[in-house]
Amino acid sequence: MRPIVIVPACTRDFGEHPYHAAQYKYVDAVVLGADCAPMILPSLGPALDLDTMLALCDGIMLTGSASNVHPSYYSEEVLDPSLPQDPARDQTTLPLIREAVKRGIPIIAICRGFQEMNVALGGSLHQAVQSVAGKFDHRENPELGMDEQYGDAHNVTIVPGGCLERMLGMPEIPVNSLHGQGVNELGPGLRVEAVAEDGLVEAFSVATAPGFTLALQWHPEWRIQHNPYSMKMFGAFGQACRDYQAQKHARQRGSA
Ligand SMILES: N[C@@H](CCC(=O)NCCCC(=O)O)C(=O)O
C-alpha cells in the first residue's frame, strides 16, 4: 500500500458557495514525485479530529496559496487588507504542523505552506518583502503566461551540510518565485537550507524534529517531472513517508 499524504485544503468560493479546494499540481506532485497516495484534508479548524487524521496519515504536504497567514499569529496587524486571507486554513494547519512535527510525521511545505510552517513553529514573516530595504520583489508578474510565471526567477544558495545539500548535491539552483511575503524571523530550532541572492530565507528544515521536514518558498510541484531537483526532493519525501508507514505498522503489530 502506498503511504497516505494529507494535503490540507484552502477555502475558496466558487460562485455562491465556499469549497474546500486543493490545486491539481500539488496533488499530482504527491503521486508523480513522491509515489504516495494524496488525501485532501478539509480545513475544518477546531472541528477537525486531528488525532484521527494524524493516525491515518504517513506524510503531510502543505501547499501554496494566494492567501496569507493572518499576521496576528506573529503579533502584527494586517498591512494590506486587500490581500486574501484564509482563517479556516490557518486554524487547521498551524496546530496540525506542531503536532505532526512532534510525532515525526514527514512534512514537505511549499510557499504559503513554508510560511505557515515558520509561523506555526514560532517565526514571523515580512508581509511585503518588496518593501523591505535590500530585498528584491519576489512576486510573479501576473501579465505573463503561466510557464513564465513559474519559470526560473532567481538562484538560491544551498547551505552546506544541510539536508537539502544532501538531496541535491548542488551549491546553487535556479528557482521560481511567486510570493509577496517571506521569512522575517525564523522560528527556534529551524535550520536554514537555502537563501536567495538578497539574503531572504528560501528553504528550511526543523533541526529538532524526529522526522523528515523540508519547507520551500519556491514551487517544486510545477511541472515536477521536468525538474530533476524537484523529483529528488519529492523522492526523498516519499521515501520518508514509506519509512514512517513501515515504522507505524511495526508499532501496530507490536501492540497487537
Ligand atoms: N500568499 C503568500 C504565499 C504565496 C503562494 O503560495 N503563492 C502561490 C499561489 C499559487 C500557487 O499555489 O501556485 C505570499 O504572497 O507570500
The pLDDT tens digits for 33-63 are: 999 999 999 999 999 999 999 999 999 999 9
Do the beta carbons of residue 94 and residue 120 sit within 8 Å?
yes
* Confidence (pLDDT) at 256: 64
Cell numbers for 19, please give them. Answer: 469549497
Do the beta carbons of residue 47 and residue 92 sit within 8 Å?
no
What ligand 1 atom has the least distance to the C-alpha of 139? 15
What ligand 1 atom has the least distance to the C-alpha of 138? 16
Closest CA to 243 of 100, 62, 105: 105
* Confidence (pLDDT) at 75: 98
Residues in a beta bridge with 98: none
ipTM above 0.95, yes or no: yes
Closest CA to 59 of 193, 243, 221: 243
Which residue's CA lies nearest to atom 10 of ligand 1? 65
Phi, psi (rounded to 5 degrees) for 43: -85, 80
* Confidence (pLDDT) at 57: 97
Full-model pTM: 0.98
Closest CA to 214 of 98, 130, 107, 112: 107
Q: Is the pLDDT of residue 100 over 80?
A: yes
What ligand 1 atom has the least distance to the C-alpha of 23? 12
* Confidence (pLDDT) at 255: 77
Share of the chain above pLDDT 90, in %: 99
To the query of whether residue 70 is one of the catalytic residues in this protein, the response is no
Query: In 10 A of CB 49, how many CB atoms?
Result: 10
CB of 170 shorter than 6 A to ligand 1 = no
Q: Is the pLDDT of residue 242 over 90?
A: yes
**What beta strand segments (E) does 141-255 contain?**
154-158, 172-175, 182-183, 190-196, 201-206, 213-216
pLDDT tens digit string along 124-169? 999 999 999 999 999 999 999 999 999 999 999 999 999 999 999 9
Query: In 10 A of CB 187, how many CB atoms?
Result: 17
| Domains contained in the chain, CATH given | 4-255 (3.40.50.880)
To the query of whether residue 221 is one of the catalytic residues in this protein, the response is yes
Q: Is the pLDDT of residue 120 over 80?
A: yes
What's the rounded mean pLDDT across residues 10-33?
97
Say how many Å lie between the CA of residue 169 and the centre of ligand 1. Answer: 27
What's the rounded mean pLDDT across residues 208-231?
97
Q: Environment class of residue 37 by beta-carbon count within 10 Å: exposed (0-12), middle (13-18) or buried (19+)?
A: middle
Which residue's CA lies nearest to atom 4 of ligand 1? 179
What's the rounded mean pLDDT across residues 176-190?
98
CB of 217 shorter than 6 A to ligand 1 = no
To the query of whether residue 36 is one of the catalytic residues in this protein, the response is no
pLDDT band at 112 (very low <50, low <70, confident <90, very high): very high
